[in-house]
Amino acid sequence: MKKNQRFIKSVVETAAKNDTVMPWARGARRAAFIAKRNAAPLARKTA
């Protein structure tokens, strides 16, 4: 097996078992962030 083929095979295997959660991924965390962002802004009081 050539070095390049072996390298690509190892990269593909590593990518397949990677399960890092990204902030923009779908799910409860994203839904909570969107709800917080869309919440009504607090009314500011002036002196």
Q: Residue 15: phi, psi to the nearest 5?
A: -65, -35
First to last CA, the chain: 76
> Which DSSP string do the residues of 1-47 spell out, in sequence order?
--HHHHHHHHHHHHHHH--PPPTTSSSHHHHHHHHHHHSPPPPPP--
Predicted confidence pLDDT, tens digits, the chain (47 residues): 678 888 999 989 988 887 777 777 788 888 888 898 898 777 787 87
Amino acid at position 6, single letter: R
pLDDT of residue 1: 62
| Alpha-carbon span 46 to 39, nearest angstrom | 21
